[in-house]
Every structure is written in structure tokens, then in C-alpha cells.
């Protein structure tokens, strides 16, 4: 695929995701981790304007100089930014203006992409596209959060069928032998800086589940009092359960004794043989402890995943998000991309049903704080 085609595909997909939204849905920010959809649309555009167009397209005129202030996220290098908790307070720029901003930047990008692009710039554009794909996944999860926390439980699209995520081979485990293995990205395509350097690790023997944990298996944990027995929990996980009165996975509701969960198609009965979703690292680890098992490390997962089917859930590992040997930050603002988050977060491996096509690989390292669960997170056990 040419770069211009890749650009247009990715950019259009973001707008496609937002199609079913009402204008009002673009605006709100129910919790700090969830951003308003219009912010995602603006921020990904700001990335191209700031890092690609302004330094590289001669004669490019900024769409609106105030937008840097509004759509910058974490890039401290690039001036003042709207603090993250404030995003949901901003009614302007309106949704229409954000789409105009996108069209304006896209037009300028066509101009730039019609000419030949040097390797270094090309790399930066590919990074911008991968960045936008990351925000596409966040668009899905944030839209789900916004609609799923509304007392009217509005559906995003009643035709979406989430029930395909069934497990098949319950209880099967794969044995992996100890030895030196290589992990980290190798190849010539795109990868993030946190997947490098490829390096050797030593793994002990381990057995890893062929399938993800199902809703039914997790329900046994709930029914066995899993949320009321501190024994299975990390100390901070137990505090999280008690302080937030957590009794079940996110989006689950017990209505008159039956379990329902909010899906993008609305409120639906929980399917017991489908893959569990929307649990925190704390819950994943507590469930594993209750089972007398554990979560895989990210390296165990990377090696074993050659042998099983994956990609419907982001899978919590018991690895902290830390740099690989030889990790190097890029120069300038782009260098803020990953390295500065390498503390207090846990690695997730895999991908999910809302990960953009092509945006997954064995070496991909996703990461979140251990209490978060609005991503499509699941559990795979190791014994």
C-alpha cells in the first residue's frame, strides 16, 4: 500500500468509528482516563499538523494557532496544553470545526504526499498513523465508556454482535521448555521504540492455557466470594476493591438475579462461554491466585503466542512496563512517546476486537495502570 493510501485509510477509519455518534457524545469526559471523541479526532490531526506539516510543507498555514493549546496531550516540549481533566469542559472547538480541521490537514497532507517523501519523514508519518490507530482503539473504548455509563444505556449500534468471542478448548495447556529465547521486534516494518532492542531472555519451563478465561469461569470466582476475600488480592488491589466497592467486572449489572453487561449493542445477558472482558490487573491476578495459577510474563507470552490463537483481548501479563536492554528515546518531542510512562504500569500483550486491522503483532507492548479496565482486557492462565 502506498503511503498516501495508507494515510487515507487510517484517517477515514477514525471518522467511520464516530459515524453513529450524536454531536453530544463527542463532548463529554466521564472520567479522567476517557477522552471526548472530538478530542481524539483533533489530537491525532494536531500530530500531523505539528510534526509533519509545519516543519515540512512549505507555505503551510496553521489552521488555528489556539488549537495547539487544546489538542496537545502529553508533549510537554510543545508549549502549554489543556490539562487532561479539563478536556470534557471544552464545548469549543465544536464537532463541525474539528472535522473542518481534519479536512484542512488532510488536504495539506495530500499535497505533501504527492511529492516524494524522504525516509526520515516517511517514518514520522508512519508513526503518526500508528499513533492514530492507537487512538482508534481508544475511541472505541471511550465511546463504550461514555454510553455505558449513561443511565439510559444507549446502544452505539444494535447490529454489532459481540458474541463471536467464544472459547473452544477449555482446560488445554501448552508446555514450553526452558532455554534462551529471543524477544523484541525484528524486521523492517514499523514498530514502536519500546519493542526494541530485540534481545535474549532465559525462560524456565511453563504451561500456558490455550484459551482465554470465560465469563462462566469468572462467575465461579464471584460466586465463591472472590471479591470479599483479601487472600487472593494484592494489598493495593484489595484497597481498590474496598474503596471503590467493586463487586464484578466493568459493565456487568446484576438485575433481578440475572447477569447482564453493557455492550456496544446495548445491555445484553452475559454469555458464559464467551471470553471474559473488562477486568483490571488486580482482578486478573486475584482470579489466577484463586485458581492456584498465575499470569504469564510478557516474554512467556511472546514465545508461546506462536502456538495459540490470540487477538480478541488484551491479555494482562505479570510484567511491569520497563525498557528493554538498549532502549533509546528519540530526540525531541517524539522521544516523549513511550519511555516516560515506564513506571507503575503493567504490560498487556495481544490485541482486541477493537484493535485496528494491521495494528497488532507478537512483539507489541501495550500498558496500563493495574486498576484500569475500560480496555478490552482478558486473562490467560499459566501454571
- Closest distance to a second copy from the beta carbon of 75 (Å): 10
CA distance 371 to 149: 18
* Residue window 27-46: x/- pattern of binding to a second copy, with contact defined by CB under 8 A: xxxx-------x--------
Q: Contact region for a second copy (CB under 8 A) — 99-107, 141-149, 214-222, 257-265?
A: 141-149
Helices (H), the chain: 3-18, 37-47, 54-56, 67-71, 95-114, 119-148, 215-223, 235-244, 281-290, 298-304
Q: 236-265 in b/e burial notation, b at 16+ Cβ within 10 A?
A: ebbebbeeeebebbbbbeeeeeebbbbbbe
Q: Contact region for a second copy (CB under 8 A) — 4-12, 42-50, 80-88, 101-109?
A: 80-88
Phi, psi of 346 (to 5 degrees): -110, 150
CA distance 316 to 305: 14
Q: Which of 310, 278, 300 is nearest to 375 (CA)?
A: 278
CB-CB contact of 297 with 318 (8 Å)? yes
- Closest distance to a second copy from the beta carbon of 284 (Å): 12
CB-CB contact of 257 with 229 (8 Å)? no
Instruction: Count the neighbouring beta carbons within 10 Å of the beta carbon of residue 276.
Output: 25
Q: Contact region for a second copy (CB under 8 A) — 157-165, 214-222, 278-286, 372-380?
A: 278-286
- Closest distance to a second copy from the beta carbon of 9 (Å): 28
- Closest distance to a second copy from the beta carbon of 10 (Å): 25
- DSSP letter string, 23-90: GGGGT--SSTT---HHHHHHHHHHHIIIIIIHHHSTT---S-TTHHHHH--S-GGGS----GGGGGG-
Contact call for residue 306 and a second copy (CB under 8 A):
no
- Closest distance to a second copy from the beta carbon of 5 (Å): 33
- Closest distance to a second copy from the beta carbon of 63 (Å): 13
- Judged by CB under 8 A, the residue of 158, 169, 186, 204 near a second copy is 204
Contact call for residue 342 and a second copy (CB under 8 A):
yes
Please identify, using beta-carbon distances, which residue of 119 and 343 lies nearer to a second copy.
Answer: 343
- Judged by CB under 8 A, the residue of 117, 320, 330, 372 near a second copy is 320
Phi, psi of 182 (to 5 degrees): -110, 135
Which strand (E) or helix (H) includes residue 253?
Answer: strand 252-255
- Judged by CB under 8 A, the residue of 92, 171, 243, 258 near a second copy is 92
- Closest distance to a second copy from the beta carbon of 256 (Å): 17
Instruction: Count the neighbouring beta carbons within 10 Å of the beta carbon of residue 337.
Output: 17
Q: Contact region for a second copy (CB under 8 A) — 24-32, 220-228, 301-309, 359-367?
A: 24-32
Q: Which residues contact residue 54 at a Cβ distance below 8 angstroms, ignoring those fewer than 6 apart?
A: 60, 62
Instruction: Count the neighbouring beta carbons within 10 Å of the beta carbon of residue 345.
Output: 17
Please identify, using beta-carbon distances, which residue of 7 and 314 lies nearer to a second copy.
Answer: 314
Contact call for residue 14 and a second copy (CB under 8 A):
no
Contact call for residue 326 and a second copy (CB under 8 A):
yes
Q: Which of 323, 347, 320 is nearest to 337 (CA)?
A: 323
Please identify, using beta-carbon distances, which residue of 66 and 309 lies nearer to a second copy.
Answer: 66
- Closest distance to a second copy from the beta carbon of 214 (Å): 25
* Residue window 226-255: x/- pattern of binding to a second copy, with contact defined by CB under 8 A: ----xx-xxxxxx-----------------
Q: Which of residues 161-200 bind a second copy (CB under 8 A)?
A: 178, 180, 199-200
- Closest distance to a second copy from the beta carbon of 71 (Å): 11
- Closest distance to a second copy from the beta carbon of 92 (Å): 5
Residues that bind a second copy (CB under 8 A): 22-30, 38, 66, 69-70, 74, 76-77, 82, 86, 88-95, 146-147, 149-152, 154, 178, 180, 199-202, 204, 206, 230-231, 233-238, 281-282, 285, 294, 318-320, 322-323, 325-326, 340-344, 346, 370
Amino acid at each position: 500500500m502506498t503511503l498516501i493510501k495508507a494515510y487515507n485509510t487510517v484517517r477515514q477509519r477514525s471518522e467511520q468509528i464516530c459515524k453513529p455518534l450524536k454531536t453530544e457524545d463527542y463532548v463529554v469526559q466521564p472520567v479522567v482516563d476517557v477522552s471526548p471523541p472530538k478530542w481524539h479526532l483533533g489530537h491525532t490531526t494536531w500530530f500531523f499538523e505539528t510534526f509533519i506539516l509545519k516543519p515540512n510543507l512549505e507555505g503551510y498555514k496553521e489552521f488555528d494557532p489556539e488549537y495547539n493549546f487544546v489538542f496537545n496531550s502529553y508533549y510537554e516540549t510543545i508549549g502549554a496544553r489543556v490539562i487532561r481533566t479539563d478536556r470534557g469542559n471544552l464545548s469549543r472547538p465544536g464537532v463541525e470545526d474539528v472535522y473542518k480541521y481534519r479536512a484542512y490537514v488532510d488536504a495539506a497532507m495530500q499535497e505533501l504526499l504527492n511529492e516524494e517523501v524522504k525516509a526520515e519523514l516517511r517514518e514520522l508519518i508512519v508513526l503518526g498513523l500508528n499513533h492514530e490507530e492507537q487512538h482508534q482503539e481508544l475511541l472505541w473504548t471511550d465511546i463504550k465508556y461514555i454510553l455505558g455509563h449513561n443511565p439510559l444505556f444507549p446502544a452505539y449500534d444494535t447490529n454489532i454482535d459481540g458474541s463471536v468471542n467464544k472459547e473452544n478448548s477449555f482446560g488445554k495447556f501448552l508446555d514450553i521448555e526452558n532455554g534462551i529465547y529471543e524477544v523484541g521486534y525484528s524486521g523492517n516494518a514499523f514498530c514502536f521504540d519500546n519493542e526494541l532492542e530485540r534481545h535474549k531472555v532465559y525462560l524456565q519451563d511453563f504451561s500456558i492455557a490455550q484459551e482465554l478465561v470465560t465469563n462462566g469461569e469468572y462467575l465461579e470466582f464471584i460466586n465463591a466470594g472472590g471479591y470479599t476475600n483479601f487472600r487472593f488480592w494484592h494489598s493495593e488491589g484489595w484497597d481498590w476493591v474496598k474503596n471503590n466497592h467493586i463487586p464484578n467486572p466493568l459493565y456487568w449489572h446484576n438485575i433481578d438475579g440475572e447477569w447482564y453487561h453493557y455492550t456496544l449493542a446495548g445491555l445484553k445477558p452475559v454469555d458464559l462461554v464467551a471470553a471474559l472482558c473488562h477486568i483490571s490487573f488486580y482482578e486478573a491476578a486475584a482470579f489466577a491466585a484463586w485458581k492456584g495459577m498465575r499470569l504469564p510474563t510478557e516474554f512467556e507470552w511472546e514465545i508461546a503466542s506462536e502456538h495459540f490463537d490470540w487477538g480478541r483481548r488484551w491479555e494482562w501479563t505479570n510484567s511491569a512496563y520497563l525498557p528493554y536492554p538498549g532502549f533509546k528515546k528519540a530526540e525531541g518531542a517524539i522521544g516523549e512517546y513511550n519511555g516516560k510512562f515506564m513506571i507503575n504500569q503493567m504490560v498487556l500483550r495481544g490485541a482486541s476486537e477493537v484493535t485496528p486491522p494491521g495494528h497488532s503483532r507478537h512483539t507489541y507492548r501495550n500498558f496500563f495502570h493495574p486498576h484500569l479496565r475500560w480496555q478490552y482486557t482478558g486473562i490467560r492462565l499459566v501454571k
